[in-house]
Amino acid sequence: MSQVATSKRTDYMQRALSLARLALVHASPNPAVGAVIVKDDTIVGEGYTQPPGSHHAEIVALRQAEDKARGATMYVTLEPCCHHGRTPPCTSAIIDAGIAEVHLSIIDPNLRVCGRGKAALEAAGIRTVVGEHEEAAQELNEAYIKFISTGLPFVLGKFAMSLDGKIATKTGDSKWISGEQSRRYVHTLRSQIDAIMVGVETIIRDDPQLTARAGLDGGQLERQPLRVVVDSAARTPPSARVLNLPGKTMIATTREADPARKKALEDAGAEMLELPSRGRMVDLEVLLKVLGERQIISLMVEGGAVVFGSLFEQSLIDKVLVFIAPMIIGGEEAKNPVEGKGVEKLAQATHLIRTRMEGVGSDMLISGYVAR
């Protein structure tokens, strides 16, 4: 195949990935998928996953292509489904439309698919090609991949700190360490994930909104992530903003918490979730299992230091995003992003792999996956 043909094929899959990213705001718990149909070097149909119960990316693209789909090539970021769920199988629609060739980035880890979709297409005489932009496709659906494989949400730990590793001054002042562009970046992330989690100290100290907004000064988006507060003793103030904004708030507590406090928070609109304790805190591993049972496939943890310490000690975080601001705070009493017991030797430290560094406004964003 010529370099020109290979380049065009790459461009078509990149377009499919761009479309898939548009689905991140509403696809969960389904994967976010993009599809592009090409005939005679022209895009004749394209689409991305619609909200659960509606059309998959392939169907949207086929409907747009209509008769032009016959003899065409489809580029899709995930293996087409081959089973009846809330919608009919995409493989049947692809076969019936007369698609001649299908390029797919990755095989679907869902055991109901997992190679069967590819096999169904090939059995119908459709040529398949696997692996184009595989890494990008896996990252785009990393939450879905973990959830469908383990039943647990993908846990993203996010915090902002100064160059000397502080998240607040000794008085607790933390607004704002990260710059405006970093905060816009976080709102985009919030619009794409299912739940945000913080500890009760963050609620008491900062009274955050924990909402997804259209920019820093924009209004609340229609779809809001579930807000989860880790609060073993039910110390969240009933007047907290997380209880008085669009969206739902869950407070994870323990049976040791004061019943009157629990009732007051329930009356304020919180869903109270009583869980076993681990040490002096809610058992976070059990909490993740409960969230998974509710089809929460992605969870972003935004604080505080005690919660982060427990998550790292229990190896419950999958990916880390750290915004580093070009400032020095100093002070022995200034706040650190991660507390807990810590490790005794560097060999025991949590290491990140597949790390990236990029500038976000005046800040530096370092991201990476926790090595298992």
In sequence order, the 6+-apart residues with CB closer than 8 A to the CB of 318 are: 142, 146, 154, 155, 156, 369, 370
* Residue 66 is a catalytic residue: no
User: 231 near 200, Cβ under 8 Å?
Assistant: yes
Tokens 């580093």, residue located: 324
What does the block give as tokens for 181?
A: 């562009």
In sequence order, the 6+-apart residues with CB closer than 8 A to the CB of 216 are: 180, 183, 184, 187
Q: Which of 28, 145, 41, 69 is nearest to 90 (CA)?
A: 69
What does the block give as tokens for 314?
A: 């229990």
Q: Give the helix/strand (H/E) hosting 288.
A: helix 284-293
Query: Could you say which of 46, 58, 79, 302 is catalytic?
Result: 58
In sequence order, the 6+-apart residues with CB closer than 8 A to the CB of 109 are: 145, 148, 149
Q: Point out the residues that are catalytic.
A: 58
